[in-house]
Amino acid sequence: MGPEGSPRSAYERLRAERPHLFVNPPDCPIEIVADDATGDEVVGVLYEDPYIKLVKDPVRFRSGRIGTYIRIVPATVDEPVVVLATVPDGRIVLVRHFRHGCREWHWEFPRGFGEAGLDSVANVHKELTEELGAAPKDVTLLGRLDDEESDGRTGVYHAVVDLTGGSPLTGDAIEEGIDQVRLVTAEQLRSMITAGEIDDMFTLGVYALARAAGVLDR
């Protein structure tokens, strides 16, 4: 859907709501300039939905040339999350998820956009309940992954889930393109990564954080 009002008016609202997105740090090689600096070229919020905003900024490059730069920012300021979920015996939970963007299946850790009004821990509960059909316990922050192409810092969490009764796929999970849940040991996870069976950047980033934190050695 298009932005409410004109792209420029939506852009001004975004500037007012999230001024940190428009800061020009010292020696910034791509400087955001006034939104009329490009003349007649359309700039502003070109698209938005409940998950993302597509923003076209007017910028001055280091050479002095005025142009535009497109970026994607989250629709809300609420933090998206990705979760390293383990069962009580230490095995790790993977979901097989079809990603529309690349039209491929991926083995990955559960994750989701930040939902307005939910803090990060509540969002972890929401995602695991939707994708695994089980509420987590012992939720612990491991760190954050920074998507340098957007205003996106994703919270990385470890949580324990009880799947002793199996993990029947919920309607939400099926609707989102998840068709399998798999439990693997830390060694099996490492082997899948080494073999190229796992190449999702969020899952790989979480794996690195979890190894650094010693979570996978427990």
Separation between Cα atoms, residue 86 and residue 84, nearest integer Å: 7
pLDDT in tens, 18-61: 999 999 999 999 999 987 777 767 899 999 998 899 999 999 99
Amino acid at 44: G
∠ CA 140-143-145, nearest 5°, is: 135
Structure tokens at 201: 């950047």
Q: What are the structural domains of the chain?
A: 7-74 (no CATH), 81-217 (3.90.79.10)
In this predicted structure, the answer to whether residue 1 has a pLDDT above a threshold of 70 is no
CA atoms within 13 A on the CB side of 51: 3
SS3 64: coil
Token code pair at residue 156: 């990385």
User: pLDDT tens digits for 78-110?
Assistant: 888 999 999 999 999 999 999 998 999 999 999
Q: Which helix (H) or strand (E) holds 123?
A: helix 120-132
Contacts of residue 135, defined as CB under 8 A and 6 or more positions apart, other chains included, come to 125, 128, 129, 161
pTM surpassing 0.75? Answer: yes
